Structure 1
Amino acid sequence: MIPTYLGRSPRNIIHHHNGYKAEEWAAWITMYSLPLLKGRMPKKHYEGWAYFVKAVCLCQKSTLTDEELNNIQLLFRLFYNYYEM
């Protein structure tokens, strides 16, 4: 059960991913994916996915410092390099 201040429960990603809106994907990536995927995928893949999640979380801020922009670039590069190997 999700507290009402967090909004409504997410639609089941297995059944509705084709119709997910950008807001739903953002919520899935930033709030649900890491807790729900932990222990359900190899640790190595989980760690690679975590780079992407952290970068997306930072990207959602309304203002970014130069340090945050550099961190976002680094996280996306780590994610890219992880999956290119």
Structure 2
Amino acid sequence: MKHQVTSIPRAATNDEPAVTPEWVLASKYEELTGVTRETVKQRKKAGVWREGAQVAVVHRRIYVNIKAADQWIKDHLTKQHRPA
């Protein structure tokens, strides 16, 4: 009797996470966008990015809300391109 070869389903092998996180560490945000951790800190300090909206500090680690940060950028792009 011959054995039948079966294929075993494998998990995706790419580096993309199965779930896209809403909040990432500032270091990961820098890796994704090029915006440095220091820039994130300065935007928070200056009140440009609000605590709990675009940025959060948890256990002395800085997190960025990707969706809120993207929306902030979109809002500022539309302001810059308005005709005078």
Instruction: Give the TM-score band, short-chain normalised.
Output: under 0.3
1 or 2, which has the higher helix percentage?
Answer: 1
Bigger CA radius of gyration: 2
TM norm structure 1: 0.28
TM norm structure 2: 0.28
